[in-house]
Amino acid sequence: MTPDLDEPLDLFSQQERNRSRSRWLVVAFVLFFAWLGFGGDWIAYMSTREAAPEAYHHVTPWFGILLTTLGAGIATWSWVRGPRDVLWSTNAREVTDPADEDEQRLVNVVDEMAIASGLPRPRIWIVPDDDPNAFATGHDEHTAHIAVTDGLLRMLSRSELQAVIGHEMGHVKNLDVRLMTLLAAMVGAIALIGDGMWRVMRRSGRSRRGGLSLGGRGGKKGGNPLLLIALALWILSWILAPIITRLLAVSVSRRREYLADAMSAQFTRDPMALATALGRIEQATSPTSAIKKGCAHLCIVDPLGRRASIAGWLATHPPMALRVARLKAMAHRWERATEPAQSA
């Protein structure tokens, strides 16, 4: 379900919603790690409580303490270092003293869009990639960063570049950057930890050969049904965590792209400039190498979904054709609204 073109852009409601979602994202992230930790402790306790006296008995919930602390630490790190880590992962370089005409044009355009949006000028970065794309990151308007690729800078005209920067300034103004940067850092952390844990479980499974008892008494088969269910859910949580975070990125990103498109049109007063820019970016064929999977939802165009053979429901961005059609409809409405009244 996409928002209607006539939907009002309630900036303060959008900002408060993003603040609330950012808080809940951190809480859910830490609780998820707590479940993985203390859930594993409970399974280990139930599996070892009837073991022989000289065997290992899992009593201290060290796994839960460790993973909950790790989750809280990652959430804190994501908040403090998230924007820097996103930029570092793309090998971006900051533009402080423009080295050529293209960089000077970029600086000028960012200055103009900062004025149009009523925001402080964000720090400007260039990603060394021929694939045309752009993204914004940061905590708020005072700590915002905008990055564009070399390919985008070379490809777009001044008005098209202005429209793309306006789109990214829309994300900054709505505080989308806070939520989406937190999500980028946490998606990466869960993917990395999940991959490592899955390898450990596979290696452990090959070496144990049934070493754990699942609650059966006296060697009886079948075990404790509740324990079996908990174990299945626990393993499933590790397996599905990267997929769930990907779906979360999808749900977070899609609606915000429509809103940022509309705000770009407001800042530039030229919806067709963004429509043209999106069309040109969509037609690009250069492979993306600098922008990683965990940061795809930050970009103006999904660098993975654009050419990767994945289902549309897994794409972090709305269909490009629909975004362009909405911008063209907006331009048509504005043209009609500004036509001089015809005398009777």
pLDDT tens per residue, range 104-119: 999 999 999 999 999 9
At 23, is the secondary structure helix, strand, or coil? helix
| Predicted local confidence at residue 314, as pLDDT | 60
| Residue-level pLDDT at 7 | 44
How high is the pLDDT of residue 181? 81
Please report the pLDDT score of residue 180 as a whole number.
Answer: 81
How far apart CA 320 and CA 48 sit, in angstroms, is 55
User: Which residues in the chain come in under a pLDDT of 50?
Assistant: 1-9, 207-211, 217-220, 307-311, 341-344
Active-site residue set = 168
Structure tokens at 84: 């820097």
pLDDT tens sequence across 180-236: 888 777 776 776 666 555 555 555 555 444 445 555 544 445 557 887 888 888 888
Confirm if 141 and 119 have CB atoms less than 8 A apart. Answer: yes
Given strand 145-149, what is the order of strands in its sheet?
A: 93-94, 123-127, 145-149, 134-137
Strand-strand pairing, 145-149 and 123-127: parallel
CB 137 within 8 A of CB 156: no
CA 8 to chain centre: 25
Q: What was the pLDDT predicted at 311? A: 46
Ordered by start, the domain boundaries in the chain are: 11-214+222-337
